[in-house]
Amino acid sequence: MSAITCVRLADLRRVITEAAAWAGVEKFCWDPCGIFMAGCTWFLILWAEKRAWHYVNFENFIDILLFAIFNCVAVLALMCHFKAMCSDPGDVPFRELGAPKLPKIESHEPQWIDGEFVTTCKKCDVLKPYRAHHCSTCNRCVRMMDHHCPWMNNCIGELNHKFFILFCMYIFVLACVALCIVARFLLSCPVRWHKCVLTSAWEPLALMLFLMEILLFGLFTLIMSCDQLCGVAYDTTTLERMKGGGKTKPPSMMENLRRVFGSDADLTWFLPTKPIMQPRQQGADVGAREEELFQSPLPDPGADNTDMQLIEL
């Protein structure tokens, strides 16, 4: 009986793995708080969809157009949230079991290996690239980690930063469109009084809650969008700004935007598509770096890199 149960569990695990791969799930953080917050995000968006449907006048072309825009933006926001939540943010791969322990490389004395500065992470024992950070929630080192977002239930890093920024922008646009829908509903009350009659005690409370959601999350995502775009433009992350560090000689702002949104500046910047990154953004092979560390002397990083300010992450 136990053998049959094990076979069934193995089949179920295989089905879940195949379904997750088909859906594009690269990573999922099993943090109870993060799962709850991510579920609340989807609930609030779907509840806003229900309230917007209630306030739309389907006999008016402008209301229909606003509702269509609202639905399109809501779908894009949910797609961005799913991609930010279930995609790899730039995790540094774990080392193989039984691999020799890495020599200690302090953060204030990084070594130049395979074209980048690296240190050793004290918590997960991997070669941590320059500007990577260890996330205690995910228990992984993440390249260019900006922060761990409970609303996304994932770290925001090098490979999913675009989805997080687009999500914030989409929610702000969604709030603006929803505010227009509610405003048109209230302004039409003198003409469509039969539609504005409060049929239950729940309706005034629902309207107030909807307006609070619009104003609260609209303002919050506007601030987050501006903060994130400024950080990308000046090539700094939230963690680096909190620690007061970062690069001293960043490339141009357009080049920094291309590193997050994709090398081609076109319409795909504003769509939840995976950006086409430069080869170095995808990360080098960690095993090769470890082999170089153990079998060959460390190359001199050279004078061109002595002026870089290396922050302690």
Rounded Cα distance, 169 and 77, in Å: 9
Task: Report the run of H or E that residue 19 belongs to, with start and end.
Answer: helix 2-22
List all residues 6 or more positions away from 296 whose beta carbon is below 8 Å from its beta carbon.
none
Tokens of 239: 């963690």
Residue 149: active-site member:
yes
The candidate with the shortest Cα–Cα distance to 129, out of 292, 295, 286, 303, is: 286
Polymer length in residues for the chain:
313
Rounded Cα distance, 164 and 170, in Å: 10
Side-chain half-sphere CA neighbours of 136 within 13 A:
1
Rounded Cα distance, 60 and 67, in Å: 11
From the candidates 149, 168, 180, 196, give the one annotated as an active-site residue: 149
The candidate with the shortest Cα–Cα distance to 309, out of 228, 250, 234, 263, is: 250
Rounded Cα distance, 207 and 183, in Å: 11
Rounded Cα distance, 10 and 132, in Å: 35
Largest distance between two CA atoms of the chain: 82
Catalytic residue numbers read 149
